A and B are shown apart, each in its own frame.
Chain A
Amino acid sequence: MDIPEKEFLAPGHRACAGCGATIGVRLALKMLGENTVAVSATGCLEVITTPYPETSWKIPWIHVAFENAGAVASGVERALKAQGKDDVTVVAFAGDGGTADIGLQSLSGAMERGHNLIYICYDNEAYMNTGVQRSGATPYGASTTTSPHGKESFGENKPKKNIPMIMAAHGVPYVATASISYPEDFMKKVQKAKEIEGPAYIHLHQPCTTGWGYDPSKTIELGRLAVETGSWLLYEIEEGEFKITYRPLERKPVNVYLEAQKRFKHLADEEKEKIQNYVDQVCAELKI
């Protein structure tokens, strides 16, 4: 695969060492190119890339509130269309909080109206920017500051909200899941999303050293473990057709993924077994 050399996210940003979000955005922007307008919801990405009066973005970028990345991206797309600028790509970046919780209604509206835009959710599975509070995308069993483990609790007690499938239910032309640890798979999906007319949604799994509790050098390794254990699946839904884009040769036990992170360290065997059973069930349905 030919990977464009040019970078559209400048260094000097304030992301933690080993940040997965900036890796994802760098790779996405390489494929989208300079003729792109980006919209960011409130979240880590916005805070780390634009400490006023500086910006890391080398393309036009607009920050909006937590809840309206979908609405603002829709407006930008319509305004460009009205000006006859049909060749400009509009992309929205929002975290899992800005997507699964706070921005869900405006995203749903944008998908429903059929705007020609790409929405990329960078999913680190909690509100990392404000101090690791749980979001709808926090997985079962994870300890966060608002779902802490202790005598009365084993951490988050609800399963991860399945946002890509909620997006697919809108009947949009393209929905995909991806991981920063599988860059070619991710970048191919970004390219497809760019070429497709109408709304495209990509859900990008992205480990977070600070929130998940692992050494910064292991960001890519953790993303890989998520996929190799079947905890995160790589697929795309193109015009309603579901396709797995990567199958692990041999699925590893979920334990190796859980034990590598502080947020799951407290889990008793009983809970780990529940997680393994859940993963087995999903993977069996999809023949992974």
Chain B
Amino acid sequence: MTSVGATVKEPGSSVKNKTGSWRTFKPVLDKEKCIDCGNCILFCPEGCINKDYDIDYDYCKGCGICAEECPVEAIKMERE
């Protein structure tokens, strides 16, 4: 395939850049408290919380939206 302009041929290759190092505060989820509402999954700018509510700390930038939007305060922001 001839490249036209700047072509990137590997979809989703930004995963090589682990943005977790940007973080100062880390969200920690108490799964006992979690009511499975899905807010944190939906509102994460990185899309790094999976359906089992595991947070991928390789990419989490620590913005705190998940903790802010959790209706039962199951997520606490802890200093790294």
B-contacting residues of A (Cβ < 8 Å)?
3, 5, 7, 9-15, 17-20, 22-23, 26-27, 49-59, 180, 183, 209, 215-221
Contact = CB atoms under 8 A, between A and B. Distances in A.
Contacts of A26: 45, 47
Nearest to B14: A12
A3 B38 contact: yes
B42 A12 contact: no
B42 A52 contact: no
Contacts of B10: 54-55
Interface of B: 6, 8, 10-19, 22-23, 38, 42-48, 51, 56, 58-59, 61-65, 67-69, 77
Contacts of B77: 217
Nearest to B61: A17
Given A217-B67, A221-B68, A59 B17 contact: no
Given A18-B63, A217-B64, A57 B12 contact: yes
Contacts of B14: 10-13, 49, 51, 54-56
Contacts of A23: 43-45
B48 A11 contact: yes
A53 B13 contact: yes
Nearest to B8: A55
Contact of B13 (A19, A55, A215, A217): A55
A220 B62 CA distance: 15
Given A12-B18, A221-B68, A53 B8 contact: yes
A216 B63 contact: yes
A50 B59 CA distance: 16
A57 B46 CA distance: 12
27 contacts: A3-B42, A10-B11, A10-B13, A10-B47, A12-B16, A12-B18, A12-B59, A13-B19, A13-B46, A14-B19, A17-B62, A17-B63, A18-B64, A18-B65, A19-B63, A23-B44, A23-B45, A26-B47, A27-B42, A55-B11, A55-B14, A59-B11, A183-B43, A219-B45, A220-B65, A220-B68, A221-B68
Nearest to B6: A52
B65 A217 contact: yes
Given A7-B47, A11-B46, A12-B17, A56 B12 contact: yes
A14 B34 CA distance: 29
B71 to A, nearest CB: 12
Nearest to A56: B14
Nearest to A27: B42
Contacts of B15: 10-12
A57 B42 CA distance: 18
Contact of A54 (B13, B22, B47, B64): B13
- In the A-B complex, the 4 residue pairs with the smallest Cβ-Cβ separation, listed nearest first, are A217-B64, A10-B12, A12-B14, A18-B63
